[in-house]
Amino acid sequence: MNYRVIIFGEDENGFWNEPTFHSKLQDACEYYGKVVNSNSPDFLGVVLVEVNHEDFRVLNRVGSTSYEVTYSFGVCRVINKKQELVVSDI
């Protein structure tokens, strides 16, 4: 089992995402907390995911209400009114 923290946002260059990988839940939670409290102007959201060999579980998420995050095994997507944007492989 491992953990992913997927940060996503939008800036002058367009949509961006930054997945990080953690082997320990405590490390993932600490990083997730730092991201949530960073107050970055380009930040739209962050997702904390527990990944097993055959499935995953979203442990927590924070994000803009104008964006909807959808999940399926294989990808995490952000939906906005313009287009469906791939955040990260899960």
Domain-by-domain residue ranges, the chain? 2-64
Residue 64 Cα distances to 10, 29, 57, angstroms: 11, 20, 20
pLDDT at 68: 72
Residue 14 Cα distances to 11, 58, 67, 83, angstroms: 5, 25, 15, 12
Residue 57 Cα distances to 5, 54, 72, angstroms: 12, 11, 10
pTM metric for this prediction: 0.80
Q: What is the CA radius of gyration of the chain?
A: 13
Q: Is the pLDDT of residue 42 over 90?
A: no
Q: Is the pLDDT of residue 48 over 70?
A: yes
